[in-house]
């Protein structure tokens, strides 16, 4: 909530070109008219690309295809890259009518359109996944990270019950600047990975499992209690959130 | 609840040496007088050594030193080996007066006296522990397994965050017939161990940790959701229970 | 992660038949090319039969029929026995096209094909179930144990509310080398069974029940807190896991 | 909240001996002056003996010895029997000064004084307890039931892991009109007992146990999910509550 | 597991009319052939009517219409009354073919057929329900109690938020020998009812509610913590269990 | 449960115009015939408008369209305003036949009919919502508050991750007499709002979110632990309950 | 975060009496120098009395007596009333040295000093408590409400198990403008109270109870699921928070 | 577990200076003798500084002062910096005898000794804390980050209930390269901070709070469900873990 043009306005007031009454009105208007756009059912936050380095992302859950398409077209019209998460082919059909170049990623359940507003990241983000059932969440992370300007390496099906699969990929682990580790069930993979590298590891528990996995709670607790240094955790199935942080780190 | 001497009795009845009335009385008495001994506050189950291969074990928690010593002396008097778990030096003092040869294991918080009733196990039981804080539970398992006639190998401080410590001991893992794995925090060690061996792994979660470890729940859930085959789980901090099963397996 | 042909290679180097550069490349390749096969969406672990005595098992949940069939055919082609768990008739149709001899077990929701790679177990595995609703999980355990080379005895509908049903089968309990006990609701059956035998009891809580059964949590907690010795526990509804451990024990 | 003397008052009004204004006042007063006594920190409910067949019971937790003694003396002064639960020797010292004949039950942590207001129950209440650690709660139930006029049979240390101890007491089970079953850990005893009898079983989970017993939650859930008919449950460690209901049943 | 004809057999042995070998065989057979009937998928417990005063009840959940009909016809053929709970019209169609006189209770989701084996209860069982959404569970309790030979009074929609509805029915409360109180949401009704009467109150939490009701957990906890005496609790939505206990009490 | 006409009746008795017997009968009848109407499946509480300032509200969940329409018509016939919550278009069709003027609010899932019985509130109720997914709950609150006679201001999509959206609306916050804040996920909005105003804030957690939001539990806990003064909380998704309290406050 | 003197400053700029550079600096300083005072370990928020109608309150938990005394003296020096919650006699000794007139309320565990800054509330706040063990929390609410300028009526020991105690106080309930209801165990009292009145009811669950009360969770859930209108809830044992909201309402 | 000197060894073999047998032995030894040091009760991992950029850290919990001092002296002897967390003055006394220059940080409960092995970080790490009670955890983070070579800015007592305190520090937020946000109760601060900056935010829930804070669970859930991008989470009270990740990021 900075006030960037403040000095210009004050110069105008000092020069008598703007009356104090007028300046007061404009200052209040400035505070009121921060750059979000009110669509009635949503306030599109066009300012976010400045504040956070990436435009507002559309969470597909609970929004109709028409609503998603409407917000998507507003974002694309401003020259900003588009990302819709947790969406489906039905919503994609609606979006494609408004945004012809949009792409659908079925595994990741995401719609994207890359535009020129994205700054490339500095290094490589590796996305590791423990089992084949974790691929959906891993792909959400990978697609998000790529759209945000990062180079991504995918290393899937390297669960801890067959360590040799992970150990044989140690040079790929070493090449990454940030590592996202996606795992369900007991969620042990992030601890093992973090013990092998010296970069930040972002752990994503998945809801994969049954019984006492409690839809990802077992994996979440496992990751929060990791005995290895350098592990932080995001919400269950939150591949998008992990990629957002990984991208922030990779752009530092 | 078998009726072993039934035939003898029936022969006596047929031979007229025992009247039907008397036989009926004896049969009922047999059912009533199964071999436990009533001390008022406890019923010592002397029959257990027959049923389960090891005499009744005294859980120290919630019993006074005098009560522990009384039960201990009854067990030892019958020529059975003694094990008191979750106990302390105070109870040990009371026991030693009744059972001079008893030994106290401070790390394991156990009192033992080995007698000649124990059948030796067939192979080696390895007890692995993830961290130095898990030693108490690991020692409870090791001491119990030894008392039950098993040879025990201890492999401590081999948590998954520094895999090389575990991998360097692979020949010791391979030498075991059963493996007990003790771990707190995220409880990932049993999965990794089970992926390296082809013998049963008994996982013991410990209450070591803080915050979202929830006194061992995180480790317990991790172990129940192990992605590796051959892992079964016991209650949090239940080193004794793990050793009991390990010993049963090792005596097969 | 042993290095079996190491000596041969070093002999070759010493003899000058292999250059150090070449040997180094081969050693690294060896580490990298451990015997799993990358199908893109999965890494089939053909090495597992050596490490764990049984080939990789396919968890049906979350995999398409086509994916299951593809992995199944790879496993069978190598002469390894096939087990698909938590699957259905749709997947079976796809598998049967690739693997003509495969068998579907509807109650167990499993697909199997036994080949010659299986070593027979030494004794009998008894699978006991408390109620008729627990049969699906019990059958998963029984079918898995049979495929892994074990003789299996099924003892169903012997819940603790009618003890005579269990007590009348005591000779069958006594004949087993390992016992798997499947129970939902309060999960009391493993404690009672373990009090009657002197072999390991593997307890499988099921999600059968309603209200405060919390989809198997009540049974799981009951089993973890069993007052009887020799009981270990697997995840809710994990008949497969119980059978894997039972088979490991029965092959010792 | 019946209005028993209503007719008398209305007769007086009709006869002109009581004015309507006065009658109105009296009716309101009647509603207001229900028979409880205000001690400032507590309202002693002397009416309860009429409503519920036993005078108000003092829960010792959170009350000072002086407060307990004050309430106790009020109750005894009215000729009502005294029961203080969850109390200690300190409170007993204070009570004994006011109520010389009071008795302290250390195992049950209760203070009692039986007076002539108690109606005897019709049959026998059996209190069964699974382990020696459950005795405190079992004694609270037994002492309460006795004070409420019931004959009590105590059957302790009959846990399900050694069924013969319970089965040998089947004639004592059969003699009871109501059975209270106290158990911690997996809480399986009520199911087994209820399968052997045809009278109501009141299950009392205890906080005995460790780890995944969660201070009695495992036992509570086990009991709520009992597969046997005729089992109802009270709060963890609530021996008093079980006895209150058992006594109500035994007085029907 | 009594041995009633034991004396007769022994007399025969003493008289030489039965050889010891034969007697032994018969005794073992007696123990083995306790009166349950093995249908393959279930063991029908025909003995239960002797042990518990009511024949085995069929829990409809998880059984096919054909299975239900098969068990139902076995029970009815023996002259025993029929109760199927948690069932539906589809199962009813199958049952009616085997058991023409069977009746379906849609609100209670139960199938019944009353035969002459039922002993009438002594007093009245009142079933109170807090809200209209609790009627299904309340009806399960009422139908069960009626089938078990009890007279039932239904008092519905008397939640604590409008106390006058309950207070105006106080004479009906007073007329009951046992009261079943069914309530969801905060589950406060049993406490209030128990404060007004001096008979046992069996509380049934229902899964009615949303959000922090957690499918009946809030009501369950409320009832377990009831501050009123004489309240015991059954599992969430377990109207059948409440009625079983109420009937046992009403038959004392 | 006041007795308003008591004095009149007593005057009649004193004047001899009403006999005591008759008066007694009438008094008892008065107590019995409190103004609720028994429809068999429900007791419509017509008295509530006197006790609580708004007629009985129909919770749509678990009621058939016919039942809803029947209760609705009884309420409207008495000249009372109608509110059906958690309902749908199907029920609306049934209601409209009985109550032609009724209105359906799809976002709020509510049916309303305003009649002349409603007293207008004194100030403005502001309903703030954090995200677009929270609109359903927010609208339930807004529609309820309007029907209860309050002026409502809606401020939607003002989550804490983009504070400028909230801060720019501070004058609208300041204009309210009571504020309802609806938020899912971490539920942080009520704390921030309460720090900016000096009127009561009623927080409504929503079940919006995934993973560790546990269907609104995270938001609920966040709100209960609010570090800001003046925040009270209602059940998850309970927009109706929040509006009821807000209206009570706004009518003081 | 309004900018009240903005116009004055702009007039100065327009008049040339303040340079734009200087004005810019002052505007930024204004934003920075909001009226809190930095003590190093705490930032005393002297502005709160303007924003929220009551000065900052000191939460005693986790602060040393010296820290409490230091903050207290800063608050009192500004002429603001003092409230320290969750404190003890030790802290009071330290405070009294700095603030001679301060008063300690042992039951409420609070320190207060009323100064002239408090605006009196409009009506009466009634604080009802279910049991004698709830008095501490009830007193925290009562003392807080009084210090904030409200007249308070205390109605204690009116739990729902003896309804007549509550019903006899109905005129006191009716006299209140806001009601705070404090209850532990099943937490049913707020529902019953809210059914009797037409003013807001603020429910405070207490941690009183044992076993399945889970330190107040049972009461909390009961209150969140209240079937009565007009009930909102605060955190367990949060008497202070309830009083803050009640006072805000009473000052409207 | 790389094999760095492999080429050298192979050259020796090729040159005949090392026999194959000897080379094989050395290779195996290399794998076995990875650089950890076995103290009996612990294996000090001196290799970690290479793998992870910081030497092994000693978790004080559950270790005796003597054990801590022994490990500390081994680490310092190798020229590595020392960090002991969750420790106390007693342990410090023992350490200081072995490591004279060690420093104790009472608020952070940490012992440190900085040596020359630490590489300085690139930017500034800001540690923000919501309340004064969160200082201990915040200081653990700050002290750890400083010891790991980072410049640290502390911003304490900026909870969301008084937003102006946070907003006035926006330039300090903007200056940071990574931000650690420590908060208890509802844990809302990380969401608000992350909405204001474009760098990674590491959220640390604290166990500060009472009642429904559940020792930090409410804050943990709030942070996991943060609606703001760029937030990752560590375990409750894990200031050390947050600083480790922050330092890894700041060294990229």
Q: pTM above 0.80? A: yes
User: How far, in Å, CA of B156 to CA of B146, rounded?
Assistant: 17
Q: Is F126 a residue whose pLDDT tops 50?
A: yes
Which residues of chain E does F63 touch, with a Cβ-Cβ cutoff of 8 Å? 132-133
- Dihedral sign for Cα E206, E207, E212, E217, please: positive
Compute the count of residue pairs across chains B and E with CB atoms less than 8 Å apart: 32
Report yes or no: B246 and B180 within 8 Å, Cβ to Cβ.
yes
* Percentage of residues of chain H with pLDDT beyond 70: 85
Contact of chains A and B by CB distance (3 or more pairs under 8 angstroms): yes
Q: Do the Cβ atoms of B242 and B129 come closer than 8 Å?
A: no
The mean predicted confidence, pLDDT, of chain F is 86
Q: Cβ H232–A235 below 8 Å, yes or no?
A: no
Interface of G with F (CB under 8 A): 1-2, 51-54, 57, 123, 167, 170, 177, 195-200, 202, 220, 224-225, 229-236, 241-242, 244-245, 248-249, 252
Q: Provide, as residue numbers in chain F, all residues whose Cβ is less than 8 Å from the Cβ of G230.
A: 52, 244-245, 248
C19 has a pLDDT exceeding 90 = no
What's the pLDDT at H227? 84
E contacts of G214 (beta carbons < 8 Å) = 221
Q: Which residues of chain B lie closer than 8 angstroms to A160, CB-CB?
A: 160, 188, 191-192, 195, 227-228
Residue B63 has pLDDT above 80, yes or no: yes
- Model ipTM? 0.82
Distance from CA of G206 to the nearest CA of H (A): 9
What pLDDT, on a 0 to 100 scale, did the predictor assign at position C3?
37
**Digit-coded pLDDT (tens) for B183-240:** 998 899 999 999 889 899 999 999 988 899 999 999 999 999 998 889 999 999 999 9
Minimal C-alpha gap between E31 and chain B (Å): 11
**Predicted local distance difference test score (pLDDT) of residue A45:** 59
> Tens of pLDDT along H78-90?
888 999 999 999 9
Q: Which of A43-47, D33-37, G30-34, H189-193 has the lowest mean pLDDT?
A: G30-34
Per-chain mean pLDDT for chain G: 86
In chain E, what is the straight-line distance between the N-terminal and C-terminal CA atoms, in Å? 22
Type and span of the H or E element at F124: strand F124-129
Per the rule left: phi > 0, alpha: psi between -120 and 50, beta: everything else, A137 is alpha
pLDDT mean over F141-169: 91
Residues of G with CB below 8 A from E225's CB?
A: 185-186, 209, 211-213, 218-219
Average predicted confidence (pLDDT) for chain C: 86
Name the nearest CA neighbour of C95 among C84, C105, C106, C86: C84
Residue C55 has pLDDT above 80, yes or no: no
Range from A15-24, F58-67, F149-158 carrying the lowest mean pLDDT: A15-24
**What local confidence, expressed as pLDDT, does residue C25 receive?**
65
User: What is the C-alpha to C-alpha distance for residues C42 and C47, in angstroms, rounded to an integer?
Assistant: 14
B49 pLDDT exceeds 90?
no
User: Chain B: which residues have CB within 8 Å of chain H?
Assistant: 132-133, 135, 156-158, 162-165, 167-168, 208, 210-213
d(CA F229, CA D92): 44
Q: Residue F37 — pLDDT band, cuts 50, 70, 90?
A: low
Least Cα distance to F68 among F46, F103, F101, F41 occurs for: F41
Percentage of chain D beyond pLDDT 90 is: 58
Shortest CA gap F33–chain D (Å)? 16
Residue C11 vs residue B127, higher pLDDT: B127
Query: How are beta strands F103-105 and F110-113 bridged, if at all?
Result: antiparallel
Distance CA E25, CA E33 (A): 12
Q: Which residue has the higher pLDDT, E146 or B62?
A: E146
Please report, in tens digits, the pLDDT of each residue of chain E (252 residues total).
333 345 677 777 788 888 877 776 666 554 433 445 556 556 565 555 555 667 788 989 888 899 899 999 988 988 889 999 999 999 999 999 999 999 999 999 999 999 887 889 999 999 999 988 899 999 999 999 999 999 999 999 888 888 888 888 888 999 999 999 999 988 999 999 998 898 999 999 999 888 999 999 999 999 999 988 899 999 999 999 999 999 999 999
User: Please, what is the Cα angle at G160 between G157 and G166, to 5 degrees?
Assistant: 60
* Per-residue model confidence (pLDDT) at position D50: 53
Which comes out higher in pLDDT, residue E81 or H2?
E81
G234 contacts F51? CB cut-off 8 A = no
Render pLDDT for A146-192 as a digit per residue (tens, 0 to 9).
999 999 999 998 988 888 888 888 889 999 999 999 999 889 999 99
**Cβ partners under 8 Å of residue A238, min gap 6:** A137, A204, F210, F211
Question: Which chain H residues touch B206 with a CB distance below 8 Å?
Answer: none
Distance between CA atoms of residues B172 and B174, nearest Å: 5
DSSP E120: P
**Interface contacts (D, E; CB < 8 Å):** 96
φ, ψ dihedrals at A83, nearest 5°: -140, 120
Is B132's CB within 8 Å of H216's CB? no
> Do D135 and B41 contact (CB within 8 A), yes or no?
yes
The verdict on a CB contact (< 8 Å) between G34 and H156 is no
Residues of B within 8 A of A197 (CB-CB) are: none
Measured CA distances, G108 to C65, F227, G130, G169, H41 (Å): 66, 20, 16, 24, 49
Would you list which residues of chain D are within 8 Å, Cβ to Cβ, of chain F? 3, 6-7, 10-11, 13-14, 16, 19-20, 23-24, 27
Q: How far apart are CA C193 and CA C167, in angstroms?
A: 9
Of H51, H167, H198, the CB nearest to A53: H198
**Pairwise pLDDT comparison (C20 vs C61), residue with the higher score:** C61
Rounded Cα distance, F194 and F191, in Å: 5
Please, what is the average pLDDT of chain B? Answer: 86
Whole-angstrom Cα distance, residue F173 to residue D193? 63
Q: What is the mean pLDDT of residues G25-42?
A: 53
Please give the average per-residue pLDDT across G113-137, as a whole number. Answer: 91
Chain H: touching chains (3 or more CB pairs < 8 Å):
A, B, C, F, G
Q: Do H61 and B211 touch (CB under 8 A)?
A: no
pLDDT of residue A25: 65
- pLDDT of H40: 55
pLDDT in the model for residue E232: 97
């Amino acid at each position: 909530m900075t006030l960037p043009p403040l000095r210009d306005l004050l110069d105008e007031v000092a020069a008598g070109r703007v009356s104090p009454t007028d300046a007061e009105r404009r200052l209040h208007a400035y505070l009121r008219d921060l750059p979000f756009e009110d669509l009635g059912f949503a306030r599109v936050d066009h300012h976010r690309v400045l504040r956070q380095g990436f435009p507002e992302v559309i969470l597909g859950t609970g929004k109709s295809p028409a609503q998603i398409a409407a917000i998507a077209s507003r974002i694309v019209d401003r020259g900003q890259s588009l990302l819709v998460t947790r969406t489906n082919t039905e919503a994609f059909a609606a979006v494609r009518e408004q945004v012809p170049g949009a792409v659908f990623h079925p595994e990741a359940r995401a719609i994207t359109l890359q535009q020129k507003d994205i700054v490339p990241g500095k290094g490589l983000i590796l996305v590791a996944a423990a089992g084949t059932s974790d691929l959906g969440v891993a792909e959400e992370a990978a697609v998000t990270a790529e759209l945000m300007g990062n180079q991504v390496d995918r290393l899937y099906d390297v669960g801890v019950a067959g360590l040799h699969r992970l150990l044989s990929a140690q040079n790929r682990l070493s090449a990454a600047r940030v590592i996202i580790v996606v795992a369900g069930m007991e969620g042990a993979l992030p601890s093992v990975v973090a013990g092998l590298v010296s970069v930040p590891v972002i752990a994503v528990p998945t809801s994969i499992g049954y019984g006492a996995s409690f839809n990802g709670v077992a994996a979440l607790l496992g990751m929060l209690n990791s005995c290895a240094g350098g592990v932080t955790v995001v919400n269950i199935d939150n591949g998008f959130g992990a990629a957002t942080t990984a991208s922030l780190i990779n752009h530092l």
